[in-house]
A and B are shown apart, each in its own frame.
Chain A
Amino acid sequence: MEGLIASLTIFVLAIFVGFEVITKVPPTLHTPLMSGSNAISGITLVGALLSAGHQHTLLTTILGFVAVVFATVNVVGGFLVTHRMLGMFQRKEDR
């Protein structure tokens, strides 16, 4: 139970942080924000690893494998695409 409460507390605080930080993002960067935060959501990869790790049955291994693939696509793809987009804004900076 204790553990759950701690998790809950962390959840609430994280929500606060999220709202405060994200409301500061200007419209110009909303698309990168969308893909970027999306990439972050790929954190489920860690979950995937943790559970693929134990591998009791073949089934769970397969599930784990597919999960890892999916999550990695999300992460790598997300951050790369965001980087591409931001790169464009960046070039603007320099000129």
Chain B
Amino acid sequence: MLAIVRLFAIARERAGRAVIEVELADGANVGDLKAALACEVPSLALLLPTIRIAVNSDYADDNSPIPPGADLAAIPPVSGGCEPGIRR
């Protein structure tokens, strides 16, 4: 199946694009997707350990299945709001 993954923030900038399409085996899970992304876009490989994948707007772990047609996104650590470097 074809997985269409939106990229944001540093992931988008490192990849040089806002969307990546990768071909996955049917029944692939999020871990498989991350492995495919690392192959497809080597510039993302070093970021991937800190990136979470969202499946249909929910955070998913590596074992989560990827339903066909799911909305997929690569989510770098978030920092909405106003103050860097505190509390983390």
Do A and B assemble together? no
Q: Please give the residue numbers on chain A whose beta carbons come within 8 Å of chain B beta carbons, in ascending order.
A: none
Q: Which residues of B contact A (CB under 8 A)?
A: none
